Amino acid sequence: MTTPTVHGTDRLELGEGIRWTDGRAVLTDILSGRLLSAPDDPAASLGLIARLPFPLGAVAPVEGRPGRWIAAAGTGICRIDDAGRVEWIARPEDGAPVPMRMNDGVADPHGRFWAGSMAYEATEDAGSLYRVDRDGRVTRVLRDITVPNGPAFTADGTVMYLADSARGIIRRYPVDPDTGDLGEPGLFVTLGSGSPDGMTADAEGGLWTAVWGTGQVHRYHPDGTLDRVVELAAVQPAGLCLGGPDGRTLLVTSARIGLPEPGPLDGAVFAARVDIPGAPAASYRPVGTADATIFADTR
């Protein structure tokens, strides 16, 4: 693979949720509520797609509705239309015992959307994982997570990886492709240092994860053994994806938040060429009532 280079001139506070979709990379700066697009020219600045008045963790495109997104944002799940307007689907973390926000989220290969929540102060076991089915129903599927990141899915959607970053672990769950129900988890990997953050799977079933606090990205074989380590010039890698026209560009976001003396590349987006491709971000595929109401064209 090539040495990572800086992609874009911006430095983000908490850059995460990067996804390759519709021929471009989109990402979030969580606490500023911004949805951004990465430039084709690596010497240009990021483009603003939408700005929300609350934190924005991650988005997935909505199939058949260009410019529309389903998002993990604020205290729940919302839609964002092509004018940046928001409509709530559910706010399950309203009224929680401690202040909460949504964090990472992704669509699976079967068209569902999954998103995790966490406490602003990373209160132990305060977080949850939610699933939005194609009919718009929102279900809390896991509790007692401190800082959920991912999830990431294998290409056939039958395996889900979920990090609990505060504990330094990634768990692996079997997924029923018809219902989205999760089976019993197994421990996939425990990191000796740093925290697993954003994740993605590649075409060979390998799992890539940004490792917060170490300046590294790891790739693991499907059996959990470490395959490679990518060094970055930023302490807090946060989100990643595999994109580009051939799926072989590793794109990594990073963060400046919490660093007493951020370096010049903390908060940058990085790009490197790799030999094993990934797939574009999966879309949320609403059906029935969800398609007719939540994602209807309201213009």
Would you name the residues annotated as active-site residues?
Answer: 197
Contact 36, 27 (CB under 8 A): yes
- Dig out the tokens for 136 from the structure: 């718009």
> What gap in Å lies between CA 90 and CA 82, rounded to an integer?
20
Contact 191, 199 (CB under 8 A): no
What is the chain's alpha carbon radius of gyration, rounded to the nearest angstrom? Answer: 17
> What gap in Å lies between CA 34 and CA 37, rounded to an integer?
10
> What gap in Å lies between CA 27 and CA 161, rounded to an integer?
20
Phi, psi of 111 (to 5 degrees): 95, 10
H or E element that contains 165: none
Phi, psi of 213 (to 5 degrees): 90, -5
> What gap in Å lies between CA 226 and CA 218, rounded to an integer?
7
The identity of residue 164, as a single letter, is D
Q: From residue 201, give the alpha-carbon distance in Å to each of 126, 156, 162, 207, 208.
A: 27, 11, 12, 4, 6
